[in-house]
Copies of this chain bind each other. A is one copy, B any other.
Amino acid sequence: MKIRAPKYEQIAEEIRKRIRDGIYQPKTAIPDQNTLAKEFGVSRMTIKKSLDGLSMAGLIYTRRGDGTYVLGDIPLKIDTNSPAQKHTGLTAELGSRLSSQVIQFTTIMPTEELMEHLKINHDEPVLNIIRLRLVNKEPYVLEHTYMPKKLMPNLNNRVLKHSIYNYLEKDLNLKLGGAYRKIHADFSNNLDIRYLGSQPNDPILEVEQVAWLQNGIPFEYSFSRNKYDTRSYTVLDINPANA
């Protein structure tokens, strides 16, 4: 973790705690910004920045001229499905219950589609990886991944059995920038039937993804295919209109 977080984060964390502990109750106002500024011994701008973060996280909402209110439980059930808007990969999500089976690991030359999605030239080789991810030894998702070879100098089988994202952030010290995902429904194909154990007519939930680093360089184009009854994709969308 960090040696020292900024004040506004520390304060946000304390307020988060007070909401969790019920000191600040849902639907009720929390102290005004001036009062909080005095309590924490900081300027009001700093309090404002803390509250902005909590507001974006959907814990509170503010009404100009009125006050700041705790926004009771958001009506959602976080279940075993994937949390929204995280691209830390499956490993962080499911931890040790996860294992991987590498089905294919080859180097290819890019198709037109890959050149476009990964923003590379026709002569730059691409890694083509197919992995079956298992949760508690049960087939969970079949991942087809394409990555520019030049970005992943030492990617090997050992890494593939664990987390590519950890390898990027820890070993290569690259920062994730974002991801664009498209979610479809589809029929099962032969690989799905073989590895996921789906029936020929079973629907498949497919997540197509382009992910890029903080400097805008795309590093991954992938398809994740799940049996219709094993996974949903969830999105939590807080309206930024309260800025």
Binds B, one of A13-21, A99-107, A145-153, A228-236: A228-236
A233 neighbours in B (Cβ, 8 Å): 182-183, 233
A208 neighbours in B (Cβ, 8 Å): 232
Q: Which one of A75, A212, A234 has the highest number of Cβ atoms from chain B below 10 Å of its Cβ?
A: A75
Q: Is the CB of A157 closer than 8 A to any CB of chain B?
A: no
Report A's interface with B, CB cutoff 8 A. 26-27, 58, 61, 69, 71-72, 74-76, 81, 84-85, 87, 116-119, 175-187, 201, 203-205, 208, 210, 212, 214-216, 218, 226, 228, 232-239, 241-242
Residue from the list B178, B183, B238 in contact with A237, Cβ < 8 A: B178
Q: Are A216 and B71 in contact, CB atoms less than 8 angstroms apart?
A: yes
Q: Are B185 and A203 in contact, CB atoms less than 8 angstroms apart?
A: yes
A26 neighbours in B (Cβ, 8 Å): 216
A176 neighbours in B (Cβ, 8 Å): 239, 241
Q: Are B236 and A183 in contact, CB atoms less than 8 angstroms apart?
A: no
Q: Are A85 and B185 in contact, CB atoms less than 8 angstroms apart?
A: no
In the complex where A178-B74, A201-B201 touch, is A69 in contact with B215 (Cβ < 8 A)? yes
Residue from the list B85, B186, B204, B234 in contact with A183, Cβ < 8 A: B234
Q: List 13 A-B contacts (CB under 8 A).
A: A61-B214, A69-B215, A71-B215, A74-B216, A75-B117, A75-B212, A84-B180, A87-B239, A177-B239, A183-B205, A183-B233, A208-B232, A214-B239
